[in-house]
């Protein structure tokens, strides 16, 4: 009950940011399209992924040398922030 009330409250404050129904993850557990995955080094290079916000994805890569920032921008990723330890933040924008 409390979760429904809390969700309705946030929906009233930010109607464009709170979806009506949670979206199911895509098959295979990856929410990224093929060109983006290829620019990250493929499925096998992704150690973990976590959505930090509606527009940002945190990835941990096995081999950060396989990351191709230029190919990511061509695939439609507006910004890439590589961090130490193979961690990468992708600014994706709102996607369907």
Residue 67's CB is within 10 A of a number of other CB atoms, namely 18
Residue 35's CB is within 10 A of a number of other CB atoms, namely 14
Average predicted confidence (pLDDT) for the chain: 80
Q: What is the average pLDDT across 1-9?
A: 76
Tell me the C-alpha distance between 57 and 24, whole Å.
16
The model's confidence at residue 20, banded by pLDDT at 50, 70 and 90, is low
């Amino acid at each position: 009950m409390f979760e429904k009330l809390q969700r309705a409250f946030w929906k009233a404050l930010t109607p464009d940011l709170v979806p009506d129904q949670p979206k199911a993850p895509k098959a295979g557990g990856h929410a990224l399209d093929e060109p983006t995955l290829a620019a990250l080094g493929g499925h096998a290079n992704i150690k973990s992924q976590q959505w930090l916000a509606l527009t940002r994805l945190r990835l941990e890569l096995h081999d950060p040398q396989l990351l191709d920032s230029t190919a990511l921008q061509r695939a439609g990723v507006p910004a890439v922030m590589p961090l130490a330890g193979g961690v990468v933040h992708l600014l994706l924008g709102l996607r369907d």
